[in-house]
């Protein structure tokens, strides 16, 4: 039995696109790139149902163009292992890892059943220190759509729902009891302070007994290639992921 591709579905919903809209956008992206394709609603349904494990290259390139994400982040291929390499200057670099977090020995750990279903709209809030701005503390806020399938939780910020415009956030998480562990990626705004830089790293949070709040820490590489960390929390807002609800939250959160 196929496993639904909840990552792709979360991204599509985060873009506020129907399956027809998504297929049309993929066709248009192919045409712009000089590589026409025949994407349609039925193909999108097969992708999201998991019956197509990997799209053909022409579709993969169009998917990346439409979503702004690498194909590995769209649920189609396993994340490559991270490798630590000597940089020749007394330090080490992390290479060949789009997410920054390897799977231990390449083998998934045993899974335990999640305590609840966390699908819905959540408020994401994290703090970070900007070394280039006198170590001032800044807050990142996004309205995020989370979708759960088994122990996996995938998320995507709504297109107009961040305090800093044009800075989409994606989450790929795993639930173990009341512990949530995974990775995050944020593409900063082209016109913003970080000039379109893509940041990524790890995240681990504890789910409160009510299931309405997750709180913990993030870790990731900074502008100067040092490892930074800070607090991160998700607060539950609405279990509904229908278009009317997503439209209502498709705005910057209140600071």
Predicted local distance difference test score (pLDDT) of residue 48: 92
pLDDT at 1: 65
The alpha carbon dihedral of 13, 14, 20, 26 has a sign of: negative
According to the model, what pLDDT value does residue 123 have?
95
pLDDT band at 82 (very low <50, low <70, confident <90, very high): very low
Residue 232: the pLDDT is 93
**Which tens digits make up the pLDDT trace of 139-197?**
889 999 999 888 899 999 998 888 766 788 999 999 988 899 999 998 876 666 666 67
Instruction: Summarize pLDDT for 106-153 with one digit per residue, the tens.
Output: 333 333 334 468 999 999 999 988 776 777 788 889 999 999 888 899
Least reliable range by pLDDT among 130-144, 197-211, 233-247? 130-144
Q: Which one has a higher pLDDT value, 100 or 244?
A: 244
The yes-or-no verdict on residue 74 having pLDDT over 90 is no
> 220 near 100, Cβ under 8 Å?
yes
Query: Does the pTM of the predicted model rise above 0.75?
Result: no
pLDDT tens, position by position, 29-73: 999 888 899 999 999 999 999 888 888 888 988 998 888 777 877
What is the phi/psi pair of residue 90, to 5°?
A: 90, 0
């Amino acid at each position: 039995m196929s496993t639904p591709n909840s990552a792709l579905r979360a991204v599509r919903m985060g873009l506020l696109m129907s399956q027809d809209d998504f297929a049309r956008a993929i066709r248009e992206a192919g045409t712009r790139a000089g590589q026409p394709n025949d994407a349609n609603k039925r193909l999108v349904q097969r992708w999201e149902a998991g019956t197509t494990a990997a799209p053909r290259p022409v579709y993969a390139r169009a998917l990346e163009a439409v979503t702004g994400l690498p194909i590995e982040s769209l649920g189609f291929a396993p994340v490559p292992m991270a490798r630590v390499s000597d940089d020749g200057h007394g330090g080490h670099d992390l290479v060949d890892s789009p997410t920054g977090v390897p799977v231990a020995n390449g083998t998934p750990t045993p899974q335990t059943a999640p305590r609840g279903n966390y699908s819905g709209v959540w408020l994401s809030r994290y703090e970070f220190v900007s070394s280039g701005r006198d170590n001032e503390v800044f807050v990142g806020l996004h309205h995020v759509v989370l979708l759960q399938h088994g122990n996996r939780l995938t998320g995507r910020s709504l297109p107009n729902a961040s305090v800093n415009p044009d800075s989409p956030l994606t989450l790929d998480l795993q639930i173990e009891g009341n512990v949530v562990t995974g990775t995050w990626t944020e593409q900063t705004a082209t016109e913003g302070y970080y000039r379109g830089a893509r940041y990524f790293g790890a995240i681990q949070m504890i789910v409160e007994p009510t299931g309405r709040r997750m709180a913990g820490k993030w870790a990731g590489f900074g502008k100067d290639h040092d490892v930074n960390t800070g607090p991160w929390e998700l607060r539950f807002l609405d279990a509904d992921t229908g278009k009317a609800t997503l439209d209502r939250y498709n705005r910057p959160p209140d600071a």
